[in-house]
A and B are shown apart, each in its own frame.
Chain A
Amino acid sequence: MTSNMVVQFIARRTVASIILLVVVMSAVFVADRNIGDPARMVLGDTGTEEDLLELRLRMGLEDPWLVQYGRFLAGMATFNFGETFRYGISKPFAHGGLPESRETLPIALDRLPATFVLTSVTIALSVLIALPLGIWAAVRPRTLGDRLVNVLSLAGVSIVEYWFALILILLFAVRLDWLPTSGYGTAAHVILPALALSLRPIGRITQIVRSAMLDEIAKPYVTAARGRGIPLSRIAAIHALKNASIPIVTTIGDETINVITGVIIIETVFGWPGIGALTVDALKIRDVPLIEATIFLLVLMVLCINLIVDLLYAVLNPRVKLG
């Protein structure tokens, strides 16, 4: 694999990703314009008809749809989703005065580090637990330990996240008072939300690691390696794992994406100032430019993860050609 091939591959995938991004965001655009009048939401009950018209003009809502859509696409190309008249604005819109506003993308970008921290900790925790657990189970199939891992991983996949999150808060924050119920800033704050989010990925990754490893261990090259006196632990951890890595990496990628969508609820439950909580806030007040900015960033994250997973395929399997 030459670096030139990698650059070409990334270039091709970037083009495909941009197309996908436009399609997804167009769907968001259509949905946004059907959830009620954003200008009315800003004004609440107080505004007059003139106020409403003024604000609609300012927000560009009086323009034909096609013009709005064009502006939306152009905005996306320049990373500008417009301004919010509500989010983080203390002074309400007043008749006659210039409406106060803020650009939305910086608001969303501000929230990215918190989500990044939570997602990374969750996935790192999941992989660190699931990988050894799955391998451990695979080298002793049908034993008590294997069955236990199987049942527990199934339970992990089946438990509902936000219910588990509330149980965690009740137990560790309220009853035992070991950890803060919500907030952000210290390592202690990340523990509960990461635990709540990691249960599902731990279960899923363990199951995939176990089954992929079982498949590999049954292959002739494993028998041949045993015949060469290579210790079973080494065969499992190096020989079989390398070949089992494709489905494992795929699952880790899938689960990372699931975590990113999962943060929308979990961040709200734990008061975690990430992009998920912001998305919920923006949706609650139907703040269209803010909704668009947050979803844009979420979609971008998902596309990046898919790209990384595809690149890893080529690294892990010598027979994969990037294309």
Chain B
Amino acid sequence: MADLTTVSEGEARLVSARDLLRVSNLRVRFQTPHGDVDAVRGISFAVGREETVGILGESGSGKSVSVGAVMGLLDSPPAKIKGEIRYGGLDLVQAPIRETRRIHGDRIAMINQDAVTSLNPGLTVGYQVAELFRVHRPGTSRGDARRKAAELLDRVKIPSARDRLNSYPHEFSGGMSQRVMIAMAIALEPEILIADEPTTALDVTVQAQIMQLLAELREQTGMALILITHDLGVVAESVEKVLVMYAGQIVERGPTAEIIDRPAHPYTAGLLASVPRTEHKDRKLEAIKGAPPVMSAIPPGCAFHPRCGWCRAACRKDAPELTAIEKFRDSACHFATEVYRG
């Protein structure tokens, strides 16, 4: 990967041409009877071909809403989306639904947190998988769609896949349901797979199997992965790049290993200190004090300041911008360098 700060303009264009998905200054506001809620407050990021990006954050940090916007799942009203989500010359925010519909599920696919409720209880699994071909590849015969569905179930390692086509979702376990969701997500060989907390609802042993399966499929297909999680362990194992979100903004981003090694934002540092790690066995675990802000009442200045040990007067007044502190390392903190140096 080239260093964006030093490349010429021509090279920069080449770099951006490799970006599959480019989110620019995305803002999502929900208009509710109790007032407006700013769930996403101006985030920008890009995902390149075959890249793996993690979005890390607590619940309510805006990570799921961000990908909801990418997937066109936010209804307006109540959601108001601003900014740009570029995919292949199309702005997914502005484009009409009949155009975005061709992208969703086909070029950009998603798997959800709760596979069991994400499957239609009234339709057979085979129908739901085969439907993708019949919707996105019109002209696929019923028989072909079914055959492909069986192959897919086989690929996600569902035993006796062909027989399971006629099963209903309630006959599947949580882990098996998630495998079905993955089968549907990879059915049309998407360029980007978005996984929104794909293992949160599953047993620990099953979690590892699902992450393993995702890694294998990614290796085979070369699809880019956007992994949303609040689990640092999952991030460490599965993605190259990480975006840390807090209160609807990106507070830090960079290569996963480097961030875990040397965080440059007090929030990331706090997250890391709250997770047990084998290399620091004797270290005490620390929780981040306080709770994430209610999104309808975000603190002025830096949103993290009420919970931050580094907090000074400036933090209460001015919101820090996301700025580079090193090659590929950005942090939105007035004391980013100090935090980074430790």
Q: Is B136 an interface residue (CB 8 A)?
A: yes
Q: Which of B97, B123, B136 counts the most A-chain CB atoms under 10 A from its CB?
A: B123
One of A186-194, A229-237, A265-273 contacting the partner: A229-237
Q: Is B342 an interface residue (CB 8 A)?
A: no
One of B14-22, B42-50, B101-109, B238-246 contacting the partner: B101-109
Using A227-B112, A231-B135 as known contacts, list a sample of 17 further A-B pairs with CB atoms less than 8 Å apart, ordered by residue number in A.
Answer: A220-B114, A220-B117, A221-B119, A221-B120, A223-B118, A224-B112, A226-B72, A227-B105, A228-B105, A229-B106, A230-B135, A239-B120, A242-B122, A317-B122, A318-B121, A318-B122, A318-B124
Q: Is A243 an interface residue (CB 8 A)?
A: yes
Q: What would 10 A/B residue contacts be, using CB atoms closer than 8 Å?
A: A221-B118, A228-B184, A229-B103, A231-B101, A231-B135, A238-B123, A242-B120, A317-B122, A318-B122, A319-B121
Convert B161-178 into 0s and 1s, putting 1 for each residue whose CB lies closer than 8 angstroms to a CB of A.
000000010100000000
Closest Cβ–Cβ distance, residue A230 to chain B (whole Å): 6
Closest residue to B107 on the A side, CB-wise? A229
Closest residue to A238 on the B side, CB-wise? B123
Count of interface residues, chain B, beta-carbon cutoff 8 Å: 30
Closest Cβ–Cβ distance, residue A53 to chain B (whole Å): 66
Closest Cβ–Cβ distance, residue B181 to chain A (whole Å): 8
Set of chain A residues within 8 Å of B295, measured between Cβ atoms: none
Report which of A219, A227, A231, A316 forms a contact with B117, defined as CB distance below 8 A.
Answer: A219
Q: Is A225 an interface residue (CB 8 A)?
A: yes
Q: Is B269 an interface residue (CB 8 A)?
A: no
Report which of A221, A229, A245 forms a contact with B102, defined as CB distance below 8 A.
Answer: A229
Closest residue to A142 on the B side, CB-wise? B77
- Contact, CB under 8 Å: A227 / B122: no
Set of chain B residues within 8 Å of A227, measured between Cβ atoms: 71-73, 104-105, 109-110, 112
Closest Cβ–Cβ distance, residue B194 to chain A (whole Å): 9
Closest residue to B168 on the A side, CB-wise? A318
Set of chain B residues within 8 Å of A242, measured between Cβ atoms: 120, 122-123
Taken together as a complex, chains A and B put the C-alpha atoms of A264 and B33 apart, in Å, by 50
**Which residues from chain B sit less than 8 Å from chain A, CB to CB?**
71-73, 97, 101-106, 109-110, 112, 114, 117-124, 131-132, 135-136, 168, 170, 181, 184
- Contact, CB under 8 Å: A220 / B118: yes
Set of chain B residues within 8 Å of A319, measured between Cβ atoms: 121, 168, 170
Count of interface residues, chain A, beta-carbon cutoff 8 Å: 23
- Contact, CB under 8 Å: B101 / A229: yes
Closest Cβ–Cβ distance, residue B33 to chain A (whole Å): 13
- Contact, CB under 8 Å: B132 / A221: no
Set of chain B residues within 8 Å of A316, measured between Cβ atoms: 122
Set of chain A residues within 8 Å of B124, measured between Cβ atoms: 318
Set of chain B residues within 8 Å of A318, measured between Cβ atoms: 121-122, 124, 168, 170
Report which of B110, B121, B170 forms a contact with A221, defined as CB distance below 8 A.
Answer: B121
Closest residue to A241 on the B side, CB-wise? B122
Closest Cβ–Cβ distance, residue B119 to chain A (whole Å): 6
Set of chain B residues within 8 Å of A226, measured between Cβ atoms: 71-73, 104
Taken together as a complex, chains A and B put the C-alpha atoms of A236 and B120 apart, in Å, by 12
Closest Cβ–Cβ distance, residue B69 to chain A (whole Å): 12
Q: Tell me the A269-287 residues at the B interface (CB within 8 Å).
A: none
- Contact, CB under 8 Å: B112 / A220: yes
- Contact, CB under 8 Å: A221 / B117: yes
Set of chain B residues within 8 Å of A232, measured between Cβ atoms: 97
- Contact, CB under 8 Å: B135 / A229: yes
Set of chain A residues within 8 Å of B71, measured between Cβ atoms: 226-227
Q: Tell me the A289-323 residues at the B interface (CB within 8 Å).
A: 316-319
Convert A9-22 into 0s and 1s, putting 1 for each residue whose CB lies closer than 8 angstroms to a CB of B.
00000000000000
Taken together as a complex, chains A and B put the C-alpha atoms of A119 and B103 apart, in Å, by 48
- Contact, CB under 8 Å: A223 / B184: no
Set of chain A residues within 8 Å of B119, measured between Cβ atoms: 221, 224
- Contact, CB under 8 Å: B131 / A230: yes
- Contact, CB under 8 Å: A229 / B120: no
Closest residue to B170 on the A side, CB-wise? A319
Q: Contacts A219-B117, A224-B112, A234-B135 hold; do A229 and B122 have CB atoms under 8 A apart?
A: no
Set of chain B residues within 8 Å of A317, measured between Cβ atoms: 122
Closest residue to A235 on the B side, CB-wise? B120
Closest Cβ–Cβ distance, residue A308 to chain B (whole Å): 20
Taken together as a complex, chains A and B put the C-alpha atoms of A212 and B105 apart, in Å, by 27
Taken together as a complex, chains A and B put the C-alpha atoms of A231 and B168 apart, in Å, by 22
Taken together as a complex, chains A and B put the C-alpha atoms of A207 and B231 apart, in Å, by 45
Taken together as a complex, chains A and B put the C-alpha atoms of A155 and B15 apart, in Å, by 63
Closest residue to B98 on the A side, CB-wise? A231
Taken together as a complex, chains A and B put the C-alpha atoms of A234 and B101 apart, in Å, by 13
